[in-house]
Structure 1
Amino acid sequence: MTDQWVSFSKVGDAELVSLTGEIDLANSGEIGKAIVGRIKESGKVLIDLTTVSFLDSAGVRLLDALVGDLLGHGARTRLVVGERGAARMTLTLCAFREDVLTTDLERAAADLK
């Protein structure tokens, strides 16, 4: 039951994965399975983290694995982290790859065109 943390929609021809709430060891595995099951064939993926209130190291590992797998399969990917917030702070502290981070959904969608 991942509906409380993850939802799916489209922005143009890109898959939009919206995460919300706390992403941690307790739910990251379940969230990862839901995401992979839905977006494995996508050529463009946006992951919106702007309403994530907490992101621990398990959440960072999940995002790192997703981004790595997606890029490895040729899918163009962006993480939407906002100007501030839990996800941006955690990913910045972890020195997450800057080339996939963006501040807003509109900018992220434009990057993938």
Structure 2
Amino acid sequence: MTTDRWVTFSRRGAAEAVHLKGEIDLANAHDIGRAIVARITLAEAVLIDLTAVSFLDSAGVRLLDVIVGELDQRGKPIRLVVGERGPARMTLQLCAFRNDLFAADLDRAAAELGG
């Protein structure tokens, strides 16, 4: 499955930026996760932009939990850009996800990570 429909990548200073969009759910979370891991393996820092996500189910939350856990274990900084409101932010808050990783704005998040 091609993941270009849901995930794209860019650089923001020292950070690898992952831009997710559309619906992230059981049907695509595994493939999206593989694409992300392949791209961020050597990254010094990671930004995951969720502001264009219209739906995030438990498979998407689990995907983010695994990625955050792996990066934490390797000592790599990460921020989840969730905006001020929206579906991804709401879902992550309902799941009591680590809000210390939340950022409202991609530029500010990149600056926090040294970008």
Where does residue 64 of structure 1 map in the other structure? 65
Equivalenced residue count is 113
Task: Provide the rounded CA distance (Å) in 1 between the counterparts of 2:20 and 2:57.
Answer: 14
Contact 1:43 / 1:74 at 8 angstroms: preserved in 2? no
Shift, 1:112, TM fit: 0.9
Q: How far is 1:106 from its partner?
A: 1.4
- CA–CA distance in 1 between the matches of 2:95 and 2:73? 21
Confirm or deny that 1:106 pairs with 2:107: yes
C-alpha separation in 2, matches of 1:44 and 1:53: 25
Opposite residue 88 of structure 2, the aligned amino acid is A
Partner of 1:17: 18
Aligned to 1:90: 91
2:51 aligned with 1:28 = no
Q: Which residue of 1 aligns with 2:41?
A: 40
TM-aligned CA deviation for residue 107 of structure 1: 1.5
Deviation by residue 1:43-78 (Cα, 9 ceiling, x = unmatched): 110000000000000000000000110111111100
- Percent identity, please: 65
- Compute the TM-score of the two structures, normalised by the length of structure 2: 0.96
Contact 1:50 1:81 in 2 (8 A): yes
Report the 3-state secondary structure (helix = DSSP H, G, I; strand = E; otherwise coil) of the residue aligned with 2:32.
helix
Unaligned runs of 5+ in 2: none
- Runs ≥4 in structure 1, deviation > 6 angstroms? none
Q: Which amino acid is the alignment partner of residue 33 of structure 2?
A: G
Gaps of 5+ in 1: none
Root-mean-square deviation (CA, aligned residues, Å) is 0.6
More off after superposition, 20-29 vs 100-109: 100-109
